[in-house]
Amino acid sequence: DFKLLSDYINTNFSSEEKSTFKTPKYFYELVFEKPGDLVMPIIVEFEYEDGTKERKQYPAEIWRKNDNEVTKVFPSSKAITKITIDPDEQTADVDTTNNSWPKNKETKFEEFKKNQIKG
């Protein structure tokens, strides 16, 4: 894939155009897993160290190549401080506890509920 990209850039862009390309400082590899049978789109929100946010959305067809797992690489010129999957809870995800990095802390209410179930 890298050779194809390199060949494409070399044949389609002049030296002047290539000199304006920005080289990303960071590369983030995310692995998305689909444990159930329901096919849903992937919505990802990145929060950067400067406080800005960016969203990327992939249609449900992304699961055609692999029904269990999809890997995407995200190049960035800024460091990412938080990643949230499905930030608006639009998909049918029954376990939202694994939708963010770093992992969200449990609220006092969630701790209380967990203790009530055990007790």
pTM: 0.72
The domains of the chain are located at 23-118
pLDDT of residue 112: 82
Helix (H, G, I), strand (E, B) or coil at 109: helix
Does position 119 have pLDDT exceeding 60, yes or no?
Answer: no
Q: What is the DSSP letter of 94?
A: S
Whether residue 102 has a cis bond before it, omega within 30° of 0: yes
Range from 13-27, 39-53, 72-86 carrying the lowest mean pLDDT: 13-27
39-69: pLDDT as tens digits: 999 999 999 999 999 999 999 999 999 999 9
Q: Identify the CATH number of the domain defined by range 23-118.
A: 2.60.40
